[in-house]
Amino acid sequence: MTETKADQPAGEAKPRRRQARGERRIQQLLDAAASVFCRAGYAGASTNAIAREAGVSPGTLYQFFPNKEAIAVELGERLTHRMREAHGVLFTPEYASLPLDRMLDAVVDPMVEFNCQNPVFLTLIHSGDIPGLMTEDHDALHVALQARLEELIGFIQPALPPERRTRTATMVFSLFKAGLELVLAHEGGERAAYIEELKASLHGYLAPIIGAETPSRTP
């Protein structure tokens, strides 16, 4: 027992007294980071550029984050938290009783909405470049979402072998990411059209698997 007053588990000494000013700076820095990550990707974003965008010096940035990766991790955590509180659990077992069209609306629309307002989320989750440790956090989100998906698919079509169910969830996740990129790459009417295409593609893929009676999607 090395600690005397502060009850840290000795393994990690993280938290630190923050003033209101500090919390504001952290938010400024995370906003700046989101902007720069979107523009240049994680690897292409320099910490100096993030500090500049936030209007502070590089030294100030490192008052609040131990390293570049921690910025992405904290940003990711705040985004996932905001996503959960904005749309609840996102997909619950009760969705399984909906017809495929409605279920896709119920799942895809909020997800698209969220990603349009927080485009950095896709940048972080795509992460072709994010190095090592970030994988823990990134995978945590990835695995959690995919587990939800698998669960939902299991409710809808219990006859599916578990191996096939995993593949289906992986596939849906990947197709969704691809469609989402196209949605974010367009604006206005084009964006709306791509949202419909995204739903149509998911419908077309899932309908034969879950044995839906509707032959196609009617927009």
Partner DNA sequence: GGCAAACACGAGCGACCGCTCGCGTTTCTC
Partner DNA sequence: GAGAAACGCGAGCGGTCGCTCGTGTTTGCC
- CA–CA gap between residue 217 and residue 200 (Å, rounded): 6
194 binds its own copies (CB under 8 A): yes
Which of positions 57-116 make contact with DNA (CB under 7 A)?
Answer: 57-60, 62-64, 66-69
Continuous segment of H or E residues that includes residue 12: none
Cβ(108)–Cβ(198) under 8 Å?
yes
- CA–CA gap between residue 130 and residue 105 (Å, rounded): 31
The correct pick among 30, 32, 34, 45 for binding DNA (CB under 7 A) is 45
6: left (phi over 0), alpha (psi -120 to 50) or beta: beta
Q: What b/e string do you get for 159-176 counting C-beta neighbours within 10 Å, with b at 16 or more?
A: ebeeeebbebbeebbebb
35 binds DNA (CB under 7 A): no
Identity of the residue numbered 104: L
The correct pick among 117, 174, 187, 192 for binding its own copies (CB under 8 A) is 174
Q: Which does 101 bind (CB under 5 to 8 A by kind): DNA, its own copies, none?
A: none
**How many C-beta atoms surround the C-beta of residue 45 within 10 A?**
24
CA 143 from centre of chain: 11
- CA–CA gap between residue 170 and residue 55 (Å, rounded): 41
Q: Which does 93 bind (CB under 5 to 8 A by kind): its own copies, DNA, none?
A: none
200 binds its own copies (CB under 8 A): yes
Size of the site for DNA (CB under 7 A): 27
Could you give the dihedral angle defined by the CA atoms of residues 169, 95, 206 and 101, in that order, rounded to the nearest 10 degrees? Answer: -140
Which of positions 20-49 make contact with its own copies (CB under 8 A)?
Answer: 41, 43-44
Nearer to DNA, 23 or 139 (CB): 23
The correct pick among 59, 128, 158, 161 for binding its own copies (CB under 8 A) is 128
Footprint of DNA (CB under 7 A): 16-23, 25, 45-49, 55-60, 62-64, 66-69
Footprint of its own copies (CB under 8 A): 41, 43-44, 126, 128-129, 167-168, 170-171, 174-175, 177-179, 181-182, 190, 193-194, 197, 200-201, 203-209, 215-217
